[in-house]
A and B are shown apart, each in its own frame.
Chain A
Amino acid sequence: MKYWKYLICAVLLIVAVSLPKFIGVYPLQMANIILIYMALALSWDMLLRTGQLSFGIAGFFGLGGYATMLTSTYFGFNPLLSLMAAAITAGLVAALVGYSVLRLRALYFAIVTLALGEIFRVIAQNLEITGGTEGMLLKQTMFKGDAASTYWVMLAIGVLTIIISIIFQKTRIHYASTSIRNDEIVAASSGVNIFKYLVIIFAVTSAIQGLVGGAYVQLYGFVEPTATTFSINFVLMPITMALLGGLYTTWGPVIGAVLLSVIAESLKLRIPYGHLLVYGIIMVVGILWFPGGIMGFIKKMFKISNQ
């Protein structure tokens, strides 16, 4: 059974890698969007597995975006190096901030992460070197905008996120996350260093969000603090994708991201602006009918068939 799983993953990966040979620029752009949201949704879910609800996705996404822009503009970093700078900056800031905010739990933590995003945005909006309210333009996007190459970078980020999520689920990080979420006293009584694991997971997931933000800037070539780089969409969309796909799993947020991105994009073409309403209804109905998400529904079905 395990070999089949590996085989399916290998086939999917080969198909994904060879996609630029078979499809045009627009579907590739679409695939980039899916990969961006997939990585954000999955990274958000990885932290949620500890029971910590974060609304800071857009904050670290924007931070990574600005790190990429600034290192490319002022230090002449090449695109890949600037992406690394984005991940490291977001990860380091999360680790430092985490030392104080990870003492908080539940809504208190959620609100602080939301506020963090706002703080990053206000800083970016008010500094001259970040371009103020107007933002900044990248001199040259990565691979001079070549659709296939940029897609492969986004695919690599998506695959890397999936691999990290699987590592989180196959190692003792999984036991630490689950036990912290279930009961912190029991977790500590099992020898879990709760704070250490929370800081590590917060830093890693924020680094992924920063990396995705950096890739987004390399893809579109600009940062703008108010409506784009720190947009609330980068908080709401990944969360609903993970909810619809199924929480606490690797494939749930992946399925949710693919499904909702495709639906959103096709609706956008058919019902200009009205797509948001339809999109919202799909989310509400989906969550009402599938409280465990699509993965939860699939698991339930398998359980029934086993019986």
Chain B
Amino acid sequence: MLEVKNLNVSYGKLQILWDVSMQIGNESVGLFGPNGAGKTTLINAILGIVRPISGEITLDGESLLKMETDKIIKHGIAVVPQDRELFPMMTVLENLRTGCAYIPRAKKKYKERLEYVFAMFPILKERLDQPAGSMSGGQQRMVSIARALMADPKVLILDEPSGGLQPSIVTEVFHGLKEIKKNVSVLVTEQNVRQALKAIDRGYILEDGKIAMADTAQNLAGNDHIRKSYLGI
């Protein structure tokens, strides 16, 4: 279980996150909020890219706070960063290899992981030798998610997975998410709340750096504030 407790993060004197707490068990959890609410900052704090001023982040009871990013990844967190997901000059296969090359646990299961991601995204098997940068936006997103899954993670973090994709591809990505959550805990930040609520179990609303609401996907979809502010109903 990934647990964030009373997390406070600031950039210099500007505090971004205020007392943020959340839990992700064997489920998929959404993190929603307007631009500038602190979603990416929270992800960066979980990954050790930004150091919090106070609070705690644990994975299966072990603190991640003093770990470097690569150690946190080796510990079982994989991430698909927003807008900077893959290595465009590398082939699809090379991109997938980088996903597990530095994680001993995943490296041992290389073939097994490869079969797992091919089952999820069959198109990748046909494009193994193609430079990832020459693929369509949707296929690139698949490569980046597949690369993160190659790490055999306990928790997969997806930062705005639908960003810049056409609607039909977005549906495909969220369909993939439903498959992924069968085996991996998922934390997804998303602007497309309507689509995301169909794919997740629970959600948190982050506004002005504070958790404004936490509930099941079903309850969030029926909440007036969410309907008005995020679904445009």
Contact = CB atoms under 8 A, between A and B. Distances in A.
A179 B69 contact: no
Nearest to B147: A190
B49 A188 contact: yes
B39 to A, nearest CB: 16
B151 A185 contact: no
A178 B89 contact: yes
B94 interface: yes
Contacts of A194: 70
Contacts of B85: 186
Given A182-B87, A191-B70, A191-B73, A175 B81 contact: no
Contact of B74 (A176, A182, A185, A191): A191
Interface majority SS (helix, strand, loop, mixed), chain A: helix
A189 interface: yes
B151 to A, nearest CB: 7
Interface in A111-138: none
Interface size class of B (residues with CB under 8 A): 20 to 34
Contact of A172 (B73, B81, B101): B101
Nearest to A194: B70
B97 interface: yes
B70 A175 contact: no
Given A185-B49, A188-B70, A193 B102 contact: yes
A139 B86 CA distance: 56
Contact of A179 (B73, B78, B79, B98): B98
A43 B37 CA distance: 46
Which of B49, B86, B98 gathers most chain A CB within 10 Å? B98
A186 B143 CA distance: 13
Interface string B89-101: 1100010011101
Interface string A188-223: 111111100000000000000000000000000000
Contact of B102 (A176, A178, A185, A186): A176
A191 B77 CA distance: 10
Contact of B86 (A185, A186, A188): A186
B228 interface: no
A193 B68 CA distance: 8
B103 interface: yes
A135 B158 CA distance: 60
Contacts of B88: 182
Given A172-B101, A191-B103, A192-B70, A186 B84 contact: yes
A99 B85 CA distance: 29
Nearest to A190: B98
Nearest to B90: A178
Contacts of B97: 172, 175
Which of A185, A190, A192 gathers most chain B CB within 10 Å? A190
B144 to A, nearest CB: 9
Interface of A: 172, 175-176, 178-179, 182-183, 185-186, 188-194
19 contacts: A172-B97, A172-B102, A175-B101, A176-B102, A178-B89, A178-B90, A182-B87, A186-B86, A186-B87, A188-B49, A188-B73, A189-B73, A190-B98, A190-B99, A190-B151, A191-B70, A191-B102, A191-B103, A192-B98
Given A189-B69, A190-B101, 9 more contacts: A175-B101, A183-B87, A188-B47, A188-B49, A188-B68, A188-B73, A189-B73, A190-B98, A191-B73
